[in-house]
Amino acid sequence: MAAPAAMIPYFGQQMSSKNDLVPDWTRQEVSTGTTIMAVEYDGGVVIGADSRTTTGAYIANRVTDKLTPIHDRIFCCRSGSAADTQAIADVVTYHLNVHSGVIELDEPPLVETAANLFRASCYRYREELTAGILVAGWGGVSFKKILNPVAVGGSGSTYIYGFMDSNYKPGLNKDQCLELTAAALSLAMERDGSSGGVVRLATISEEGVERRVILGNQLPKFSSH
Amino acid sequence: MATLAVTRPPFGGFSFENCKRNAVIEGEVNKVGCSLPAARKTGTTICGVIFKDGVVLGADTRATEGMVVADKNCSKIHYISPNIYCCGAGTAADTEMTTQIISSNLELHSLSTGRLPRVATANRMLKQMLFRYQGYIGAALVLGGVDCNGPHLYSIYPHGSTDKLPYVTMGSGSLAAMAVFEDRYKPDMEEEDAKRLVRDAIAAGIFNDLGSGSNIDLCVITKSKVDYIRPHDEVNKKGIRMHHVTSQHTACLDIVIINVIWSHHHAIT
């Protein structure tokens, strides 16, 4: 994956702009504009994302699944360039399988391990990549406390910081977390042009992973106009 | 034991050494008033849809070089393996070579595993190659096929991101084709309905997008057979006008002929 991007001159963009028949957005990189979030509760974590992927002003995929499984009980929420995040997620999935599959361990891999693998890839290629990733999961007994009980990310996250600050309280149970996530994502999707579609939720706990989808017409409504 | 190497030993991948030279040439040529020849692009409408028993892929057949049609009947549905085909939009050479490389690698892989290749494998190979070249290979692909897990359809973008969907469109005419799909797609369609839907989607691209035109090619892939129908529909036959004015036009009342060519004795002294 070590592409010497720094040495490659930016001539590609200029050549293609001469052709008027091919519109601009076909040459834009595919990006997951996105709103993603993760909320921890006692016994697991709830993660959620919108489902819109854009190339410029065109929605390339309106039912994207941005909650990517890395391992049985570890997920990552992807935001940024679709190609970059898909590639990193594939690499980390492979490494984690080698780590816990080939090198036999008694217990499943820790979420910290997955997060560190992501961090290694993202930092090493930070000049070439555009990626914002939330790593969440249920990772067995760990010696380090989880850093943040709540995390939001993506372009739509800026619209819901206020909502999260006022509505999150420690000690929520699973259903309250799901409601909070769905409400926050709906608000962000309402205001952010790059977020939209359906809301995808996943609950990760010791019992396993439970996924659900909230369609557009079933989203919680806030504004009267 | 250090040796002075005059030339760098060749390594894999593209060599971008001529880019500076090309930029200089382009500058020089522009000063004279000409322009460099543009790479041939398939303006294109390509699409695919999953139906009850398999996948239908469709493509137009126009290849453009700038604003000129370079090839009126080029083939955009490429063979990957007996059960997997791939439509390509973007730079014609890139889609052609990329699909050929992956097709050849997939055949070796299939001989090694002893099994019919899976669409997910082809998808992985394509996305990893395109990501490695960071979008400089201008190939936007619609990959479809039927394997042991059923029918699959992927859209693959030049930077290496992929989406697995029941219906996809790519190319400059993709908005027109997607409009048709969003209106009429239903899950579990019959083969004839799916073929008609794809044909209409490509036709929408052909008639509403300047970069797409000529005929409609289809490829129907099911578990038991592959129908490569080229052409499925010739919607732009040469000499046949689309809207021919016959009646109800302004009547011709009178014809007057005036010579505008000067006679010789006017011109000579």
Identity of the residue in B90, B138, B163 whose CB atom sits nearest the CB atom of A53: B163
C-alpha dist (Å) from residue A45 to A88, A139, A181, A210, B61: 22, 11, 11, 11, 51
The tokens 């595993």 sit on which residue? B113
Query: What is the mean pLDDT for each group of 10 consecutive residues in chain A (225 residues)?
Result: 39 42 64 86 92 89 94 92 94 85 74 89 89 86 62 92 92 93 94 92 92 91 74
User: Whole-number mean pLDDT of chain B?
Assistant: 87
* Inter-chain CB proximity A23 and B157 less than 8 Å: no
Q: Please give the share of chain B, as a percent, with pLDDT higher than 90.
A: 60
C-alpha dist (Å) from residue B108 to B101, B154, B183, B251: 11, 22, 41, 69
C-alpha dist (Å) from residue B36 to B18, B93, B157, B246: 15, 17, 27, 44
The tokens 């919680």 sit on which residue? A220
The CATH number linked to A63 is: 3.60.20.10
* Inter-chain CB proximity B19 and A9 less than 8 Å: yes
Q: Give the model's pLDDT for residue B240.
A: 77
Provide the residue ranges of all domains of chain B, joining segments of one domain with +: 52-234
Separation in Å, CA of A88 to nearest CA in chain B: 11
E strands, A11-160, where? 30-32, 36-41, 44-49, 53-55, 58-61, 67-71, 74-81, 131-137, 150-153
Q: Give the model's pLDDT for residue B263.
A: 62
Arithmetic mean of pLDDT, B47-65: 93
d(CA A225, CA B269) in angstroms, rounded, equals: 83
Spatial neighbors of B174 by CB under 8 A, at least 6 apart, are A26, B45, B46, B47, B89, B205
d(CA B215, CA B193) in angstroms, rounded, equals: 19
d(CA A66, CA A82) in angstroms, rounded, equals: 9
Identity of the residue in A30, A61, A82 whose CB atom sits nearest the CB atom of B165: A61
Q: From chain B, pick out residues whose CB is under 8 angstroms from the CB of A88.
A: none
Interface pTM, i.e. ipTM: 0.80
Identity of the residue in A21, A53, A61 whose CB atom sits nearest the CB atom of B43: A21
Nearest to A83 by CA among B119, B15, B45, B133: B133
Nearest to A194 by CA among A48, A53, A29: A53
Number of domains in chain A: 1
Question: Is B113 part of the contact surface with chain A (CB cutoff 8 Å)?
Answer: no
* Inter-chain CB proximity B138 and A18 less than 8 Å: no
The secondary element (H helix, E strand) that includes residue B203 is helix B191-208
* Inter-chain CB proximity A53 and B140 less than 8 Å: no
Nearest to A29 by CA among B129, B179, B138, B123: B138
Interface of B with A in 129-148 (CB under 8 A): 130-136, 138, 140
Collapse the DSSP code of A138 into the 3-class scheme (helix H, G, I; strand E, B; otherwise coil) and give the result.
coil
Q: Give the model's pLDDT for residue B84.
A: 97
Question: Is B160 part of the contact surface with chain A (CB cutoff 8 Å)?
Answer: yes
Interface of B with A in 31-60 (CB under 8 A): 35, 38-39, 41, 43
Spatial neighbors of A169 by CB under 8 A, at least 6 apart, are none
Has residue A69 been placed in a domain?
Answer: yes
* Inter-chain CB proximity A21 and B67 less than 8 Å: yes
The secondary element (H helix, E strand) that includes residue B196 is helix B191-208
Residue of chain A whose Cα is closest to the Cα of B26: A15
Q: Is A150 exposed, middle or buried (0-12, 13-18, 19+ CB in 10 A)?
A: middle
Question: Is A30 part of the contact surface with chain B (CB cutoff 8 Å)?
Answer: yes
The secondary element (H helix, E strand) that includes residue A162 is helix A161-167
* Inter-chain CB proximity A58 and B136 less than 8 Å: no
Q: Domain spanning B52-234: which superfamily? A: Aminohydrolase, N-terminal nucleophile (Ntn) domain (3.60.20.10)
Task: Mutate one of B67, B154, B159 to test the A interface: name it (highest A CB count within 10 A).
Answer: B159
Full-model pTM: 0.79
Has residue A94 been placed in a domain?
Answer: yes
Residue of chain A whose Cα is closest to the Cα of B12: A3
d(CA B21, CA A30) in angstroms, rounded, equals: 31
pLDDT digits (tens, 9 = 90+) for B98-131: 999 999 999 999 999 999 999 999 999 999 999 9
The secondary element (H helix, E strand) that includes residue A201 is strand A199-205
> Percentage helix, strand, coil, to 5, in chain B?
30, 25, 40
pLDDT digits (tens, 9 = 90+) for A140-164: 655 455 567 899 999 999 999 999 9
DSSP secondary structure of B69-118: EEESS---EEEEETTEEEEEEEEHHHHHHHHHHHHHHHHHHHHHHTSPPP
pLDDT at B267 over 90: no
Residue of chain B whose Cα is closest to the Cα of A3: B132
Arithmetic mean of pLDDT, B118-146: 95
**DSSP state, residue A171:** T
Question: Is B117 part of the contact surface with chain A (CB cutoff 8 Å)?
Answer: no
Phi, psi of A14 (to 5 degrees): -70, -45
Q: Give the model's pLDDT for residue B17.
A: 73
Collapse the DSSP code of A205 into the 3-class scheme (helix H, G, I; strand E, B; otherwise coil) and give the result.
strand
Domain range spanning residue A63?
30-214
Q: Give the model's pLDDT for residue B30.
A: 82
Residue B171, CB-side half-sphere exposure with 13 Å CA sphere: 40
Collapse the DSSP code of B216 into the 3-class scheme (helix H, G, I; strand E, B; otherwise coil) and give the result.
strand
